[in-house]
Chains A and B, each alone.
Chain A
Amino acid sequence: MGRILTRDEVLQRIPQQEPFRFVDEILEIDDEHVVASYRFRPDAEFYRGHFPGNPVTPGVILIESMAQCGMVPLAIYLTAQEMELDEAEKFQTLFTEANVEFTGMAQPGDRIINTTRRVYWRRMKLKAEVEMSLEDGTVICAGHLAGLGVPI
């Protein structure tokens, strides 16, 4: 059977890579929650167009970062406990649902802290409550995400 992965082992297994990687560090992880951080690179290509002369991190990128900082690592952590690692590594967690409200903005260079709490994990589906904050504690978006582990 599987085993409990360390924070670093989980981080290494997050499949998204540059230029579409939006997680730097996993700060805490257990069966019920994960806390992770990411600093938005000021030279990211999307700032050139969103918006010219006034760069703001797009909401869709914030949602992706919420997933990479939360749903993806928590699903990796939970899947690894249920089966052998070589089997677990065949699964990628793909988005099924997102319901998020935005209450603030992330500027280029801002570091975010993302906290994800499991609502349920069943049949390789993870539903989670997610909150993203700036380093000063200001919540900029929160809601629910869900994803399904799919062998691809």
Chain B
Amino acid sequence: MEATEIQEKVVKILTPYVKDQDALATVSGETNILEDLKVNSARLVDVVLAFEDAFDIEIADEDVDEVNTVGDCVRLIGAKV
């Protein structure tokens, strides 16, 4: 799966949790999920579970600790699909 395709799906999954919808207009790999998109950190587990379902992968808790940006999600998922 191409990185651009993964990123599109990642952004679609993140969208319902995004508090700053304007930030979605300029989303890139550098976009920070908590700081730029204002996703509540308590919802990250829901996001990870949605990634696992959407991409049919398993994401270890330790890997989640390394995820800060949309690009981090794309790289993590890309390595598993």
Interface residues of A (CB under 8 A from B): 96-97, 120, 122-123, 125, 127, 146, 148
Residue among A96, A97, A122, A148 making CB contact with B49, cutoff 8 Å: A122
Within the assembled complex, what's the spacing in Å between the Cα atoms of A97 and B42?
9
- Secondary structure dominating the interface of A: strand
B61 interface residue (CB < 8 Å to A): yes
B61 in contact with A123 (CB, 8 Å): yes
Query: In the assembled complex, which residues on chain A have CB atoms less than 8 Å from the CB atom of B42?
Result: 96-97, 125, 146, 148
Listed in ascending order, the chain B residues whose CB lies under 8 Å from chain A are: 40, 42-46, 48-49, 61, 64
Bound-state Cα–Cα, A123 to B64, Å: 10
How far apart are the CA atoms of A146 and B46 in the complex, in Å?
11
CB distance from B66 to the nearest CB of A (A): 14
Contact B61 A96 (CB under 8 A): no
Contact A122 B61 (CB under 8 A): yes
Q: Which residues of A contact B48 (CB under 8 A)?
A: 122
CA distance A125 to B45 in the complex (A): 7
